[in-house]
Amino acid sequence: MLFSHVRGIKQSPTSFVSIKSRRRMWTEILRDDEIVKLLSYAREYEPVWYYIWAFAIYTGCRNGELYALKWSDIDLQDRMITVQRSYNKKYKVEKCTKTGEWRHVSVCEPLWEVIMELKRTHDHDVQRGACKYPGYVLPRPGLWQNGEQARKLRQFCEEIAITPVCFHTLRACFATELLKRGVAVPSVMRVGGWTSIKTMMHYVRLSGVNDKGITDPLDYRSKVESETNRTLMNAVGDRLSPQGVQIATVTPLNSRRLPSPK
């Protein structure tokens, strides 16, 4: 051991040091009905954040990837988004994605409607010289620029009485909802930019797709009702609603004693 070569050290200095393993606890995510409520209420009361949250839910992009998303990354003809950069707010620079690789995300119909709304607003602002962030797809509210997107979403969720979640949880909702709808795990990993199968298995457990119906084959109900069982059931029913059945006809159980009739 290395500590035996250090003068004056008789035992390892780490003998009584323990490192707790990191265990994944249950993660609170939004149900599909809560996602519908979030987007519908956001469109009415938080229209700027509505676009950001909708993009997060429909693409599974990370916070920095959404912040750095440009119009040049969206193929309007093939309805495909190329995620190839992320924004580091600490150093205020654009960099590659977390995994260092680009990926494609197909545009579903609801997201297409959101993109068209943003495109019309962007083009109109550019024409009149009022576009503050030309080239970028999503608006930039002050709380997002200050890194308070998690607090904003949690507060809004509490306000509309749904599960309070942070911004990154929308990415988990993207994964679990795709898995619930039958999308294969490798496809979800590819489109969401996950490289760790351990992380993806966490989302698989959250979705419950591999757990649903597992216990359905278990059935220990009696297929044939015996005479003794019928007598017992009649007697129990008689105590609740007297029908003239004699409790004395019930075969006594060794582990139970029926109360004596009054």
Q: Which residue has the higher pLDDT, 229 or 117?
A: 117
Inside any domain, residue 254: no
Alpha-carbon 54 to chain mean position:
15
pLDDT digits (tens, 9 = 90+) for 223-243: 655 666 666 556 555 554 545
Inside any domain, residue 107: yes
CATH number where 59 lies? 1.10.443.10
Q: What is the mean pLDDT of the chain?
A: 85
Structural domain harbouring 129? 32-207
- Looking up tokens 């197909």 gives 106
Query: Under a CB-based contact definition with an 8 Å cutoff, are residues 202 and 192 in contact?
Result: no
**Please, what's the b/e burial string for 60-96 (b: 16 or more CB within 10 A of its CB; e: otherwise)?**
bbbbbbbbbbbeebbeeeeeebebbbbbeeeeeeeee
Query: Under a CB-based contact definition with an 8 Å cutoff, are residues 191 and 104 in contact?
Result: yes
Report the alpha-carbon distance of residue 25 to residue 195 in Å, rounded.
21
Please give the pLDDT value at position 213. Answer: 83
- Mean pLDDT for 107-134 is 95
Inside any domain, residue 221: no
Report the alpha-carbon distance of residue 164 to residue 158 in Å, rounded.
6
pLDDT digits (tens, 9 = 90+) for 191-212: 999 999 999 999 999 998 888 8
- Looking up tokens 């999503």 gives 138
End-to-end CA distance of the chain: 80
Query: What's the domain count of the chain?
Result: 1
Inside any domain, residue 217: no
User: Running DSSP on this structure, what letter comes out for residue 172?
Assistant: H
Residue 218 confidence class, pLDDT cut points 50, 70, 90: confident
Query: Under a CB-based contact definition with an 8 Å cutoff, are residues 143 and 153 in contact?
Result: no
Inside any domain, residue 229: no
Q: What percent of the chain has pLDDT over 90?
A: 64
Characterize the bridge pairing of strands 74-75 and 93-95: unpaired
- Looking up tokens 């010289």 gives 129
Query: Under a CB-based contact definition with an 8 Å cutoff, are residues 260 and 248 in contact?
Result: no
Inside any domain, residue 154: yes
Query: Under a CB-based contact definition with an 8 Å cutoff, are residues 118 and 48 in contact?
Result: no
Inside any domain, residue 219: no
Q: Which residue has the higher pLDDT, 235 or 188?
A: 188
State yes or no: pLDDT of 255 exceeds 60. Answer: no
pLDDT digits (tens, 9 = 90+) for 31-77: 999 999 999 999 999 999 999 999 999 999 999 999 999 999 999 99
State yes or no: pLDDT of 247 exceeds 60. Answer: no
pLDDT digits (tens, 9 = 90+) for 98-107: 999 999 999 9
Question: Model pTM?
Answer: 0.76
Cα dihedral 134, 137, 141, 144, rounded to 10, equals -120
Inside any domain, residue 83: yes
Task: Count how many residues are written for the chain.
Answer: 262
State yes or no: pLDDT of 10 exceeds 80. Answer: no
Please give the pLDDT value at position 217. Answer: 86
Residue 245 confidence class, pLDDT cut points 50, 70, 90: very low
Residue 221 confidence class, pLDDT cut points 50, 70, 90: confident
